[in-house]
Structure 1
């Protein structure tokens, strides 16, 4: 029967009204965006300034304020392709292993004799044993420090490859551990880059792995690629190292296992430090800008429990000795330990302004990059080019909708008008869904919207052609319309399900433009099925109940 219950009519209209409300903010994009930014800034600051209050009033609080995020090609921004130097992690692993190995070998000094580290490749640890006839014992001690590789492919293998030749014991990471380390390094770099970008409040950045050791970074709305490089490329590597001595000679030899670093505040002064830190920035749990006792900008930091214990134990055992606070290979301070610092918190002060202390706090909270990155490709897309893309996409969408509406009305008359209303509603619901979930619209995504308009009409065409067939068979108007919708249902569902599956595959496997196209395509398929099957049917039923036609020319 050609009948729709009242509750279903109310539900269909409610979906349309809700969709209209959620899509409406995109008509006032700049005002709503300023409103949203002001709310976020006020929440972070803990108070509302006059300028923020004025921006908040630009959009009613009772209205939805979600927007369709604009991608890099529409908003403008920066594009970077970075290569991660995973070999830096191998060097760090060997440097951190040396103190532990040295203690283990020193416990067997009576058997092994004197041991010392030899200069060698950065990814190897070469140790000279005084008694080469006891090399098997040294190898056994070194193997006791190894651990199993934590990957499925490396299961059962050790993380260290140990060999001996004459008096020299050589230790390096095994191939399985190198592979696992590379993967962990890339994943850690991805997370840290994402945290750093998120800290500055950018919208919908694209940060993803490409290949074995590369990371793609696209950030809409940022000023330039140089600005993005400065934010990401700064390592903000904080360590606390024991001080061996001071020197005024930039070419002084620090010795094996030590490092020579310049002082930030004392020109011409260099510190000789142990290469292995007591505590590193990775063990920080928080960092925030503040002021020191002299009213100068500073950064307060807090260690996690493990870092607090190590820092407390070291300061308790070295009262009266200096220790260095090292930031990005510069000694920013080398205070003398007066008392044991067991609270797990401290302060970094020095020659910095308020902006510098804020930026340093951001970088420390995000963490240090595990390895150096080289930027292989950089590109800045200006907002003017992005606006040109928006204008071109808007014109293409309008032309497509007008052409489809004209063709549909010319082919099906009044029913074509109903189909055209459903097509426009489909676009509104599509934008509403993207606004609600915070999806990103790209230039290929606009192409997906245009394609969605075509697929929405396809569903109506199938329905109308079925109705025509029923009318040619001599069915009454009500029966023809009812049978037309029922017979077309399976064809519409089958066609859209197959396309929907293809869209999901593109979304989960594709990247960049392919993913942007898939987002609008998959959402558009769902909304087009709703508008074709339910909204169009509702309009036709209401028209039939009002006019009660005896004949239908379609």
Structure 2
């Protein structure tokens, strides 16, 4: 007789029940929604829900209901994606000073399901709609920026050591120092060898000057590039979060590219503007001893640098920076109480606050300037082809006397508009990009197209499933029906595990499901054909059942393991869509091994295993 022990039956039953419970949230509708939070870290009050409800009703935007979420947020549910977009526009136009909205899709789950903490599978960009952006990071600029910092540091060290030099600059990926004589070069070499041991130093004589070249090692360049890429990912994630997009996916691709996927977002123009922006600020003292007019004529004092304001007037500033944008921890836009002009309220980190306090204490009554820095990309026609060029623009936006010492909190004025102040505050909060970026690919998937993809994907799964069900029931009789039941359980377990892992379902993932259906039933085909062979060899029905499972097991394991290896390789070396296919295929293979071998045998053992059979219904 073929019988499983009680503990094994209970274990199988418990696993299937757990899978059914975990897959349950996917049965409920997914509502287009807006997740609303209070602006500027304020607290959402009870009146907020009434205010948002009134704004939507006044604009005649139909909505399903407003739910209260954890963390002081609200969720406005809509019946259609068109109503969702109209609702987001109403909130942006009328309530943006108090509330921020993020487009999302939320499952309408019953209270008991939410209490258990269960969530449905995440839907990918191709199913939900949204924006896909592929970004290339300028790694060469990251290395150049690092060398530029070395240039400034070397100048400072040479001046402090009173070593005379002609020039210090960058040439062909190296720092080049020129000296008037060998003695000065040797003195400079000692200073550099002591302070900059990580650089590769070489001495060169070109006949006119005595040179020292400094270069980064390949390992240092790789470290700088990796840091720039990771820093850009962090900055872009901060910027996207500030835009108010729920569940963004920002990941590294290869050695120099970043993939940004924003489900639910539908404004690519605004997205590109914020992602590619590089605006930041520098605070410098004004050189009151030198002449800006002489500097414009080419006579720039040592330790100073010539800038221009937005009207084109020359301004001579100290070369040493007080604080930079990367020392800003928080920023908020608003209007100056006295002048009524746009301003940005700035908070500095600890070192930046102490530096600002020390400098303003020592320079009360002296002018300090704010330099606005931005990389602007323009497209020009060269030989009839569009060529993008990035230009670094540095403008003095404000010069004011230091009335009294201040530290980590202060205001910056001189901005052209409230929109510029708002964007600058957003960028300062998110941090500066470590290297320039360029958007090389952009795709927008509309909500209706995403829904079409879901419908077509589910239809393909249903057609594939029904075709297999009909074939198995017709060809293998009641044992075929058993195979159909475990095939359904296999789909349930796939959905359950995907939801439990927090995996994202995409169109390639749906293709993996369809492939898994065929592969899952293949194991039962091998088992049933082996049973038929045992019956033809004259074995008893019960012996044929046992032999069918035992002797087909090695073939099933071989077939699934080889496919699993291919899935692991796809996941290791593939990009986003291929990874989604590999994840679904891997989960499906593991689930099919469990259902096709263990669950089907448990069902056959339960109904036929304890009987005296003359034949098998196979």
- TM-score, L = length of structure 2: 0.74
Which residue of structure 2 aligns with residue 186 of structure 1?
229
Residue 372, structure 1, aligned to residue 436, structure 2: yes
Alignment correspondent of 2:552: 488
| Residues 403 and 55 (structure 1), Cα distance of their counterparts in 2 relative to 1, 3 Å cut | same
What SS does the corresponding residue of 1:370 show, helix, strand or coil?
A: coil
Shift of 1:229: 1.5
| Corresponding residue for residue 401 of structure 2 | 336
1:232, distance to aligned residue in structure 2 (A) = 1.1
| Residue matched to 1:144 | 194
222 and 122 in structure 1: CA distance in 2 versus 1, 3 angstrom threshold: farther
**Partner SS, residue 239 of structure 1:** strand
Equivalent residue, structure 2, for 1:226: 269
Are residues 488 and 84 of structure 1, via their aligned partners in 2, closer, same or farther at CA, if it must alter by over 3 Å? same
**Secondary structure at the counterpart of residue 219 of structure 1:** strand
Assess, with a 3 A threshold, how the Cα gap between structure 1 residues 172 and 468 changes in structure 2: closer, same or farther.
Answer: same
Report the 3-state secondary structure (helix = DSSP H, G, I; strand = E; otherwise coil) of the residue aligned with 1:413.
Answer: helix
Counterpart of 1:535 in 2: which secondary structure?
helix
Instruction: Tell me what 2:458 maps to.
Output: 394
Q: More strand per residue: 1 or 2? A: 2
> Residues 21, 120 of structure 1: CA spacing in aligned structure 2 closer, same or farther, 3 A cutoff?
closer
In structure 2, what is the Cα distance between the partners aligned to 1:99 and 1:533? 69
Q: Secondary structure at the match of 1:3?
A: coil
Cα distance, 1:391 vs. partner? 2.6
Distance 1:134 1:275, change over 3 A: closer
Task: Find the residue that maps to 2:28 and give its secondary structure.
Answer: helix
What's the CA shift string for 1:268-293, capped at 9, x where partnerless?
65644345523223234445678876
Aligned partner of 1:154 in structure 2 is: none
Aligned partner (choices 193, 203, 211) of residue 247 of structure 2:
203
Residues 443-474 of structure 1 deviation map (CA, whole Å, 9 limit, x = unaligned): 22211111100111011112222332333344
Corresponding residue number in structure 2 for 1:25: 25
Q: Secondary structure, in 3 states, of the residue corresponding to 2:321?
A: coil
Moved more, 269-278 or 284-293: 284-293
Partner Cα separation in structure 1 for residue 415 and residue 149 of structure 2: 31
108, 121, 130: which is aligned to 1:68? 121
The structure-2 alpha-carbon separation of the partners of 1:238 and 1:525, relative to structure 1 and needing over 3 Å to count, comes to farther
> How far did 1:509 drift?
1.5
Q: Which moved more, 1:74-83 or 1:226-235?
A: 74-83
Counterparts of 2:298 and 2:228, CA distance in 1: 31
Contact 2:181 2:210 in 1 (8 A): no
Aligned to 2:184: 134
Q: Does 1:47 align with 2:89?
A: no
Deviation, structure 1 residue 172: 4.7
Post-superposition offset of 1:520: 0.6
Mapped partners of 2:172, 2:351: distance in 1:
28
With over 3 angstroms needed to count, the CA separation of the structure-2 counterparts of 1:82 and 1:11, relative to structure 1, is: same
Provide closer, same or farther for how the CA distance between residues 146 and 164 of structure 1 changes in structure 2, counting only shifts above 3 A. farther
Evaluate the alpha carbon distance shift between residue 371 and residue 62 of structure 1 in structure 2; reply closer, same or farther with a 3 A threshold. same
Q: Would the aligned equivalents of 2:133 and 2:442 in 1 still touch at CA under 8 Å?
A: yes
The correspondence for 1:313, drawn from 327, 351, 358, is 358
Could you give the per-residue CA deviations for residues 130-149 of structure 1, whole angstroms, max 9, x where no partner exists?
A: 5554322223323333232x
The answer to whether the 8 Å contact 1:236/1:368 transfers is yes
Query: Are 2:2 and 2:610, in contact at CA under 8 Å, matched by a contact in 1?
Result: no
2:533 to 469, 476, 479: 469
Residue aligning to 2:566: 502
Contact 2:306–2:314 (Cα < 8 Å) also in 1: no
How many angstroms apart in 1 are the aligned matches of 2:522 and 2:42? 51
1:100–1:406: structure 2 CA closer, same or farther, 3 Å change rule?
A: same
Give SS of 1:244's match. coil
Cα distance change of structure 1 residues 475 and 254 upon mapping to structure 2, 3 Å threshold: farther
Q: Deviations over 1:103-162 (max 9, x none)?
A: 3323443xx44x4546775956555545554322223323333232xxxxxxxxx35666
CA distance in 1 between counterparts of 2:399 and 2:456 reads: 59
The C-alpha deviation readout for 1:14-64, integer Å capped at 9, x for no partner, is 332332233233333423x74xx6498899765374334384894334315
Distance in 2 between residues matched to 1:518 and 1:85, nearest whole Å: 31
Query: Alignment partner of 2:135: what SS?
Result: strand
1:442 pairs with one of 474, 490, 506: 506
* Deviation sequence 1:280-330 (CA, Å, 0-9, x none): 232344456788767998655544443344334333333333333444344
SS in 2 for 1:319: coil
Matches of 1:526 and 1:43, distance apart in 2: 47
User: More displaced, 217-226 or 540-549?
Assistant: 540-549
When residues 108 and 196 of structure 1 are mapped into structure 2, their CA distance, relative to the original with a 3 A threshold, is closer
Aligned equivalent of 1:528, options 592, 599, 607: 592
- 1:429 deviation in Å? 1.5
8 Å CA contact retained: 1:29, 1:67 = no
Instruction: Spell out the pairing of 1:291-330 with structure 2 (5 A cutoff).
Output: 301-328=346-373, 329-330=394-395
Contact in 1 for aligned 2:292/2:306 (Cα 8 Å):
no
Q: Give 1:240 shift.
A: 2.6
Moved more, 61-70 or 407-416: 61-70
Contact 1:397/1:449 (8 A) holds in 2: yes
Q: Which runs of 5+ in 2 are unaligned?
A: 50-65, 69-73, 78-107, 374-393
| Distance in 1 between residues matched to 2:400 and 2:211, nearest whole Å | 38
Kindly tell me: are residues 81 and 473 of structure 1, through their superposed partners in 2, closer, same or farther at Cα, counting changes over 3 Å? same
Cα gap change, 1:359/1:438 in structure 2, threshold over 3 Å: closer, same or farther?
farther
Once the two structures are TM-superposed, the CA of residue 518 in structure 1 deviates from its matched residue by: 0.5
> What is the aligned residue count?
534
How big is the alpha-carbon RMSD for the aligned residues of Structure 1 and Structure 2?
Answer: 3.8
Unaligned runs of 5+ in 1: 149-157
Post-superposition Cα deviations, 1:407-455, rounded to whole Å, max 9, x if no partner, equal 1111111111111111122112111211222212222221111110011
Q: Which residue number corresponds to residue 174 of structure 1?
A: 216
